[in-house]
Each structure stands twice: as C-alpha cells, then as structure tokens.
Chain A
Amino acid sequence: MTQPPVVFVVDDDPSVRSSLKFLMSSVGLQVESFDSADALLQRKLPDAPSCLVLDVRLRGLSGLDFQRELAARNCHMPIIFITGHGDIPMSVRAMKAGAVEFLTKPFRDQDLLDAVRIALEKDRERRERKKEVSDLKERFNSLTPREQKVISMVVAGMLNKQIADQLGTAENTVKVHRSRAMEKMRAQSVAELVKMIDKLESSMKS
C-alpha cells in the first residue's frame, strides 16, 4: 500500500549512532541516522510510517527542544528518547510531550526494538487515520452545496419532509439530493454517514 517504514536516529556520538543503525538493521528495519536535529530537519520526510530515536543530550538543539520544534512544524512522528543520564523530571517532560519511550543507556536491545515497533505501529495508525479523513474530506468536497446542506440536516436527524419544508422545496427533490450524496460519500446507510461526518468534524476540531 505504502512505502516501508523508516527509523530515524539522531545522536551526536558516531559510535552510538552507527551501532544503533546496525542493531535496527539487524532486525530488518530501514534506518537513517543524523548527527544533529538540524540535519534531520534538512531532509524531506518520506510518506511512510516512521519514528525517531533521539538522544536527549545533543549539540545545538537539545532532544526536548527538538521534540517541541517538530510539534510546531506539525510533524507528529513518534519519538523514543535515549539518554546517558536521564532523570525523572526530564523523562516526565518528554512523556507528557508525547514521547513513546524514555530509555536510559545502556538499555536492553529488546526494549529499544519493542519501543521502535510500537512507535512505528502508532505512526502507521496515525497515518491511516489521517488518510481516511482526507478521503472523506475529498468526497465531501465533491458534493454540491445543496447536497452538503441536505446531508448535514440528515445527520442532524431531520426527516425528508422537514428538510423539504425548511429548504422550501419538494420532498422528492430532497430524496434525489440525499441518494446522490450518499452515493458520492460511499455510505451504505445513514448510520455510516453519521460516523463519517463525525470523523470529519472531529478532525476539523483537532
């Protein structure tokens, strides 16, 4: 369906960086490593499930600052922090800001690999959700203004007659708009349509 998942590694220590790459490659993951946050930001991120293994202590922008920076750029790639001397306040801050895991060096390789798997899964789900919403939006946008109006009233639970009265048109006309709109939205039932509109609305809000 899409491109294979990618793990990004940012650590300023070349040994650690290359060993991380080697470790994750050994389980078949595609890994790209960078020696600084800036270097990562230079790269165009692929449209594939991805996650970031990030050292807290970096030259230039720190790991936590980089986490904020990514969020500001609307990049929601899950982050796994690794640190040489993590303390509790630091890990709390990172987790609150949405980090998947906070690992203290030296960590068990399985812990890192598990965290990476979870992160990639999370990102894949996120991407799917995002894809679904954009599909719905596309379909919704293909409706005529009259069809959109009718659908919103249907979702609100109004009967055809009530809609016709309110729009000052014939009940039959409403029925035509409604069936055409359902078709365009690929909704099998009113219930499905309600779910779709719900998803759209909640994505608009967020």
Chain B
Amino acid sequence: MTAEAQGVGPSTEPMDLQALIETIPALVVCALADGSAEFANRAWHEYTGCSSQELTGWGWHATIHRDDLPKLIQEWTVATAAGKPFETEARVRRADSEYKWFAIRKALAVSRDQAGEPSLRTLIACEDIHERKQAQENLQQSEQRWQTAFENSAIGIMMRDRGDRFLAANRAFRNMLGYTELELYQLRSIDVTYEEDRELNEELIEELREGKRQHFEMEKRYRRKDGRLVWVRNNVTLVPGTGGVAPFLFTIVEDITERKKEESERCYIEQRYRVMVETASDAVVCIDERGAILLANPATTKVFGYDAADLIGKPLTVLMPEYLRKLHEDGLRRYSATGQRHINWQGTELTGLRKNGQEFPVEISFGELTVDGHRIFTGFVRDISERKQAEELRASLHATQLELAQVSRLTTMGELAASIAHEVNQPLTAVTNNANACLRLLARHNLEPEVLRRALEEIVGDGSRASAVIARIRAFIKKASTEKSELDINEVIQEVLALARRELSENRVLLEPQLTKALPPVLADRVQLQQVLLNLIMNGIEAMTAITDRPRTLWVQSRVDESGDVMVTVRDSGSGLGSEGDRVFTPFFTTKANGMGMGLSISRSLVESHGGRLWATPNSPHGAIFSFTLPAAARSPL
C-alpha cells in the first residue's frame, strides 16, 4: 500500500470528486486505492482541525485512536484483498483532542483528471456514531454491573421459570444451599425445600401463577446438599414476560438461620421463665410504680386465696395486713423518690393477708425492671407458715431446753437452799436451845457458872460453825453457777430471737436485726447472757403493746464500740422510759402490771459480773434504748 501510494504521488485535485464529497454528510477522505489520502472534505478538516498537509498520504491515520488503528488497518487489508466492502468502528480525534466514535466505511469512486482520464479513487467516509456507541457501552456496563451485583450480592437471589426450574442463582444462594450452579439447574426449587414447608410454598406459588397475588413473603427451610436445614425468608415476585422473555419468578432469599436460632433461644428462655413463673409454688406478683398489681401468677391464688385475674389493677396492699400498708406505701414512695429501700429486697420476712382475712408469715424478695421508662417491681412471695411452724417448734424445743437448763439450775438452787437451811439450822437450833436452857436455869436461880461457861462455849462454837457453812456455800455458788465460755454474741442473739419469735409476731412487732458480722467472741455464761437478752427483748416488746399510731419496731444491734468492747443495743419504738429513767434498774421497781421488778436489776448484775455495763437511754422520737457491753474475750478479766 505504501509503495502504491508513493508510486501515485500527489496530483491535481479532480474538481468533480472534490465537489462530490462536499455533499456527503460525513467526514470524507479521498484516498488512492492503497489508502493514502489526497484530500478531504471540509467537514473532515473542521472536525479534526487538521490541514491538508497533515492529511495527505498516511497522515490521516494520526487522527485515528491509537488503540483502534491496528484493527482498522488489518480489516482494511483483509477487505481490500478479498474485494469486500470495508466497515469498521474507530475513534477519531476531534480538533480539541477529544475522540469520538465513528463508523468508517470505504467506497470506490472514479476521478477524472484534467485530461479527462479516469482513475480509481477510494472514498473513506466517517459517520459519527458516538452517541449510539456510548449508549451501547452504557448498556453493557449496566448489564455488567447488574450481573456483578447479582452474583456478588450478600443476599441470595435466584430466578426460576414458571415450571420452578432454576434459571439463575447467585453465589450467596448457592452457598446457602451448598450446590454448584450446574447442579442447581438440574433441580426445581421445590426439590430443595424442606418437606414440611413444601405444601404452603406450592400453594403460594400457585396463587402467583393464577394472578391472585403479585408477590409473597415466606419463611421456610431449605434442605442443603449436606442434609442440614437452613432457615430463609423468601420474597418472591412474579416478573411478567416482556418481549421475548417468558414470565419468571424472582426470589430474594435471606438466610435467617441465626435469627431463628436466637428467636428460638429467646423463645425457649421466655418459655422457661414463663413455665417457672406459672408453675412456681411461690406467688409472683408484678406491680407498677404506684403499687398497682400488673400481673399475678397462678400460685398467687394458692397462697393468697384471690383469683389471680381479680388482682390485676388492685393495690398490692390488699395482700398485706393493715398495719403494714402505710409502711409499704411510704417505703415505695421513698424508694421512687430517693432510691432508698425501706426493707431488704432479698428474703425479708413479713406478714401476708389472705382473702379470708387470715394473716400468715411470708418471705418476700423483690426485683426491679425498667420498661419504657416505667419501673416494674416483681415480688416473689413465699408462704412460710409451715417453715415457721417448724421453726417455732424448734424454737419451743430450744426454749424447753433452755427452760430445762434453767429448771435444773433452779433445782440445784432449790437443793442448795434446802441444804443451806439444814446446815445452818443445825447450829442455830443448838444455839437457841443452849441459850434457852440458860435462861430457864437463870430464871430459877439455878445456873451454875460452870454450866453457863459450857453453854456459852457451845453457843460460840455453833455460831462459827454456821458462818463456816455459809462461807462454804458462797464459795460453791461462785464456782459452780456460771460456766463461762467463748461465745459469738450474734449466735446468742439469734437463739434468743428464735425464743422471742412468737411474742414478736403475736404482738406484730417488726424485727430489724442489725448484726455486725465477725465480732470478737466474748467470754460469758451462755444461759445468763440469754437471760439478759431475753429480758431486754421482752421488755421492748411489752413496751410497744399499747402503740397503735406507729409501727412497732424492735432493732437489735451488735457491734464493737469505741473502746473495743462488744456492744449490744436493743431499741424499741414503745412508750419509752419517761421520767423513770435510772430507777428501772432498782430492784423491785416496775412499771408493769405483773412484773416483779427484778429483771433489769438482775440483768445489770449479770452483765456486771461479766465485766460489762448495762444502761438505758431514750430513743428518738419514741421508745427506749437498752445497751450493754461485754469485754472481747481476749481482754476479758478472769
């Protein structure tokens, strides 16, 4: 081609061809048969911005995009050799260096020179197809994007024909089921659907086919190739046919196995909790912030006698005796306002009220939950009547034991007293007899000095004998009547509280133990310590029997005081000491109708004999505080 072009050489432009190409609505280059350009029309020059000189020969190739030129040359050569028409697409550079797509064809034309001799010329016409080409490319890109999106979507997507055969399935779907693309195309969707879900699935698809619905959603299970089940949520749409495309089913498949698992776990847990609450033997009652009952389980009926449904909306206070109601209301209000709890939330012992008016002991635990900004309190109420009875039985057994201990001690004291009487009476009798005999003899003036001397000697002897007996007994009492051992004061307090339990509950006294753990032991006589504590507690209870305008509360506290002694405080909200103050410790002083007035006096002596102190102070705003201290064992004087 190059040799040919060179061989021809430039010649004068044949005016007729020149005129012709100006009429063609395209960029036209007139070239020799080998493709070397001679001239071009104005449209070409204007588009490319190239001069005639830049054009001539092979210069016009420079306007073809570098990537498109080899193809163009090759196709040109092939077409020329085969004598076929040439047509290709290539980008042509515009004057502003922008390339645009053109369809490039060639046609043969006859040119006549000035002599009128005809010669063959090639016309190269470039038709602007840029927009079409662009649209085509866009389409391709779009399709590519769709394809890529389809394939790479994290969500499963599949299409099947109306006969349920797979047309396409993306990777997510294939992975979900564990099948390869080829394997899937052999199957119908229903084949991989879990047996139990098939019927419903087919019904829904049938409705789609019949036009009863445009799409549906369904949660179902697929059986994977490996046999395992996978939960999916399918969104199925019937895509109507367009053009040559038959209608098909378009399905978006979401793997919800995890969610299902969580759901079923949550469901299981909820179920379990519900079963627990429903079958619990404890009454479970939920209340709102105002104390109104929101929910009550079936056990509530058993425990309280109310139909659980009847309780809804009622105040919780219907389940408690009158004297606890205000306490509860105040406590709940205070807690709502300040977060301060008025009772221990775990296992507080209180009194419940049955529908039939019967009061019974309960153990209550509370839980709190905030739902949508509202507080819900759940109470677990256990009927501890039986336990209490057992405890009381045990306590009364214990009390019996304690009484026995007391009785045996008293018996010993009684025997001791008898023994004292006998031992002391003997010398006393002798003394009296001797003295009387002397008096009688004296009256008859018959008392010999020798006789008198003997009698007086005997009297003196018997007198000393009597005091020796008393000294011996005193020593015996001192040694035998107290058995001191190292004691945990809290243990002794618990024992005595068990003894006093019946009195506490019968007198509706709320007990508030405040026992400090791990106190140092005290060296004391257990029975005597029990006597002191029991005495103080019973006094406290008795002091509150007349109180009706406020809760009857008894606080029993143990702790270590500033000087390291173990200190026990019994505080009541009763009538208080009034002006009597210190006189309570005087023997035979009493404010009680049937008291002997010995309790506090004896208690003080007992405490003092242990190296401690016992005193009373007024409680604020009501009642009295009785406190005693005992030295910690290590420092106890022995």
A and B together in one complex? yes
Interface residues of A (CB under 8 A from B): 13, 15-16, 18-20, 22-23, 25-27, 57, 82, 84-85, 105-107, 109
Binds A, one of B133-141, B161-169, B455-463, B547-555: B455-463
Shortest beta-carbon distance from B192 to chain A in Å: 105
> B132 in the interface, Cβ–Cβ < 8 Å?
no
- Assess whether A19 is in contact with B437, with CB atoms less than 8 Å apart: yes
- Assess whether A16 is in contact with B433, with CB atoms less than 8 Å apart: yes
Given known pairs A84-B421, A84-B422, A105-B428, the reply for A25 and B433 (CB within 8 Å) is no
> B432 in the interface, Cβ–Cβ < 8 Å?
yes
Which residues of the partner chain B approach A106 to less than 8 Å between Cβ atoms?
425, 428-429, 432
Contact mask B428-442 → A, CB, 8 Å, 1/0?
111111101110110
A84-B422, A105-B429 provided; 11 other pairs, C-beta below 8 A? A15-B461, A15-B462, A15-B465, A16-B429, A19-B429, A19-B433, A26-B440, A27-B440, A85-B425, A109-B433, A109-B437
Total A-B pairs, Cβ < 8 A: 67
Shortest beta-carbon distance from A85 to chain B in Å: 5
Which residues of the partner chain A approach B432 to less than 8 Å between Cβ atoms?
19, 106, 109
> B427 in the interface, Cβ–Cβ < 8 Å?
yes
Shortest beta-carbon distance from B448 to chain A in Å: 11
Shortest beta-carbon distance from A62 to chain B in Å: 14
Which residues of the partner chain B approach A109 to less than 8 Å between Cβ atoms?
432-433, 436-437, 440
- Assess whether A85 is in contact with B422, with CB atoms less than 8 Å apart: yes
- Assess whether A15 is in contact with B436, with CB atoms less than 8 Å apart: no
Q: Which of B444-496 contact A (CB under 8 A)?
A: 455, 458, 461-462, 465
Select from chain A the residue with minimum beta-carbon distance to B417.
A85
Which residues of the partner chain A approach B437 to less than 8 Å between Cβ atoms?
19, 22-23, 25-26, 109
One of B423, B430, B441 near A15 (C-beta < 8 A): B430
Which residues of the partner chain A approach B309 to less than 8 Å between Cβ atoms?
none
Given known pairs A15-B461, A106-B428, the reply for A22 and B421 (CB within 8 Å) is no
Among A16, A26, A27, A57, chain B packs the most CB atoms within 10 A around the CB of A26
Among B418, B430, B434, B461, chain A packs the most CB atoms within 10 A around the CB of B430
Contact mask B383-426 → A, CB, 8 Å, 1/0?
00000000000000000000000000000000000100111011
Q: How far is the CA of A169 from the CA of B144 in the complex (A)?
A: 179
- Assess whether B421 is in contact with A19, with CB atoms less than 8 Å apart: no
Q: How far is the CA of A184 from the CA of B288 in the complex (A)?
A: 122
Among B431, B432, B440, chain A packs the most CB atoms within 10 A around the CB of B440
Which residues of the partner chain A approach B428 to less than 8 Å between Cβ atoms?
105-106
Which residues of the partner chain B approach A82 to less than 8 Å between Cβ atoms?
429
One of B426, B458, B465 near A18 (C-beta < 8 A): B458
Shortest beta-carbon distance from A31 to chain B in Å: 11
Given known pairs A15-B465, A26-B441, the reply for A20 and B433 (CB within 8 Å) is yes
Q: List 12 A-B contacts (CB under 8 A).
A: A15-B426, A16-B429, A19-B431, A22-B455, A23-B434, A23-B440, A26-B438, A26-B440, A82-B429, A84-B421, A85-B425, A109-B436
Shortest beta-carbon distance from A60 to chain B in Å: 17
Q: How far is the CA of A82 from the CA of B428 in the complex (A)?
A: 13
Which residues of the partner chain B approach A19 to less than 8 Å between Cβ atoms?
429-434, 437, 458, 462
Given known pairs A15-B462, A27-B440, the reply for A22 and B434 (CB within 8 Å) is yes
One of B418, B426, B440, B461 near A105 (C-beta < 8 A): B426
Q: Which of B507-553 contact A (CB under 8 A)?
A: none
Which residues of the partner chain A approach B455 to less than 8 Å between Cβ atoms?
22
Contact mask B28-52 → A, CB, 8 Å, 1/0?
0000000000000000000000000
Q: How far is the CA of A23 from the CA of B422 in the complex (A)?
A: 20
One of A13, A27, A107 near B430 (C-beta < 8 A): A13
- Assess whether A23 is in contact with B425, with CB atoms less than 8 Å apart: no
Which residues of the partner chain A approach B458 to less than 8 Å between Cβ atoms?
15, 18-19
